[in-house]
Amino acid sequence: MSTPFDTIARIGVVPVITIERVKDALPLADALLAGGLPVAEITFRSPAAADVLARLAAERPDLIA
């Protein structure tokens, strides 16, 4: 079983995203996963960031965020 660090090293890139609305989190996560990028850095430049992370953790556990 690989660790999150192994996954990030294998992929070689971490998309950095700012999400303004929680409702946009799941479609974006689905697009990243479908494109073979199971990782994202969620910035805290948006008031929605903490809620976005909570939603992703609960509903897209395969995404490393």
| pLDDT tens figures, 24-52 | 999 999 999 999 999 999 999 999 999 99
Q: How confident is the model at residue 18 (pLDDT cuts 50, 70, 90)?
A: very high
7: tokens are: 């996954």
Q: What does DSSP say about strands 16-17 and 41-42: parallel, antiparallel, or unpaired?
A: parallel
pLDDT at 1 over 80: no
Residues 3, 1: Cα–Cα separation, whole Å: 7
